[in-house]
Structure 1
Amino acid sequence: MPRVDSQKFYSSAIDKYGITAKGVNWHSKESQKIRFDIILEMLPDELNSYSIADAGCGFGDLYLYMTKRKRAPKEYIGIDSLADMYSIASERTGCEIIIADICKEKLPAADYYVCSGAMNVLEEFETHLFVQNCFNASRVGFIFNVLHGERKSETYNYLTTSQIEQMAAHLGVQKVVLRDDYMQEDITVLFLKESI
């Protein structure tokens, strides 16, 4: 059982804030951009040689940000479980957007999987499934950000560094890169399939 009803969690935010960073439950547009910048730093410089799958793509904001920064990938696939997100992201990006439950369904292959914020309301078990499915569907690696620390919350999902390292060991990750120096209680993680 999910920690919160994702449909209600996001639909109420869209109704209240529209197609904005707050509409996908980000604290602010600035915090969303900071997280996107860290993801872009972890991706290869020659991003136009790689395909990217955006797990929990929301409105397609990451793709639009990549394009604005002249870092668009060779191919972008957005994946979200909510029909509202599918419709909005399809229209805004012009890219392939798929409706799927990332924890349960077979995912399309891509060089890199990325996820910004979509795991913040999952249960611990769901988080493991989400990470496992994205990592397995990636050819090179998976980059994700999550809330970081020991805090217990009825709504939000916090992971410790130890939990992240245990997941990496379980998945046979060859190289792990952690960044927690950009925002309090947030961490961005890169799981690579080969130690490059």
Structure 2
Amino acid sequence: MNSFNKNFYTSAIQKYGITAKGVNWLSKGTQTLRFDVILDMLPNDLSSYSIADAGCGFGDFYLYAQKNSKEPKEYIGIDSLIDMYEISSERTGCEIILADICRDSLPSADYYICSGAMNTLKLFESHLFIQNCFSACRYGFIFNVLHGDKKSETYNYVTTEQIEDIANNLNVDKVILRDDYFKNDITVTFLKARD
């Protein structure tokens, strides 16, 4: 993780604690809205599937899925910040891995998900992040990113065309896009061909 991203999250944790704002979400409502969309794009019965949460933060997705009776067979959280690793390990009781998703080898899981962790990465870093998660999943990778061609010093916006280019480079079998839930946000599903 670059020093900007480390400071971006560390300062939020210090200011807001273990809350949605502590992982730089605008509010708990915007965080759970994105979780709902990811859950809608995953299989209905998650009890047969393993989920790896790339950039898991405080493990909020797992706790939200559990609360909504959509607990996966296995949950693996991955984060590059020691604070996130320690907090999510304690809160979820699940396996949490301390790793840089852009650079490190990732564990295999049926589905990879990512909510918000790419919002401050550069485009090439997002491409590496997506590539590594898609390579490590058995069936698919579901992620949300900021959507559009807006230029920002802090945030990374991705266009539909850039998403489609990444999908073509990775030989994604099927792409599903959903942008009807929040302005300037898109949730993307990259699926692999299944035998």
After TM superposition, the score normalised by the length of structure 1 is 0.97
Structure 1 stretches (4+) deviating beyond 6 angstroms?
Answer: none
1:32 paired with 2:31, answer yes
Aligned partner of 2:62 in structure 1 is: 63
Aligned partner of 1:166 in structure 2 is: 165
Maintained 8 Å contact 1:174/1:195:
no
What secondary structure is seen at the aligned counterpart in 2 of 1:5? helix
Maintained 8 Å contact 1:175/1:195:
no
1:118 paired with 2:117, answer yes
What is the deviation of 1:5? 1.3
Q: Aligned pairs, how many?
A: 195
Q: 2:8, 2:162 → 1: CA distance?
A: 25
The letter for the 2-side match of 1:12 is: S
Aligned partner of 1:49 in structure 2 is: 48
What secondary structure is seen at the aligned counterpart in 2 of 1:103? coil
Q: 1:15, 1:122 → 2: CA distance?
A: 21
Q: 2:83, 2:110 → 1: CA distance?
A: 26
What secondary structure is seen at the aligned counterpart in 2 of 1:156? coil
What secondary structure is seen at the aligned counterpart in 1 of 2:47? helix
Q: 1:7, 1:126 → 2: CA distance?
A: 15
Q: 1:159, 1:136 → 2: CA distance?
A: 21
Share of identical aligned residues, percent? 69
Aligned partner of 1:106 in structure 2 is: 105
What is the deviation of 1:195? 6.8
Q: 2:97, 2:81 → 1: CA distance?
A: 10
Aligned partner of 1:147 in structure 2 is: 146
Aligned partner of 1:178 in structure 2 is: 177
> Where does structure 1 lack aligned partners over 5 or more consecutive residues?
none
What is the deviation of 1:27? 0.5
Q: 2:6, 2:157 → 1: CA distance?
A: 21
Q: CA RMSD in A?
A: 1.2
Q: 1:27, 1:195 → 2: CA distance?
A: 37
Maintained 8 Å contact 1:51/1:111:
yes
What whole-Å deviation, never above 9, does each CA across 1:99-142 have from its counterpart, x for those lacking one?
A: 00000001000000000000000011100000000000000000
The letter for the 2-side match of 1:147 is: L
The letter for the 2-side match of 1:97 is: I
What secondary structure is seen at the aligned counterpart in 1 of 2:96? strand
What whole-Å deviation, never above 9, does each CA across 1:135-189 have from its counterpart, x for those lacking one?
A: 0000000000000001010000000000000000000000000000000000000
Q: 1:186, 1:195 → 2: CA distance?
A: 28
What is the deviation of 1:7? 1.4
> Where does structure 2 lack aligned partners over 5 or more consecutive residues?
none
Q: 2:105, 2:68 → 1: CA distance?
A: 31
Q: 2:38, 2:50 → 1: CA distance?
A: 14
Q: 1:106, 1:63 → 2: CA distance?
A: 22
Maintained 8 Å contact 1:147/1:157:
yes
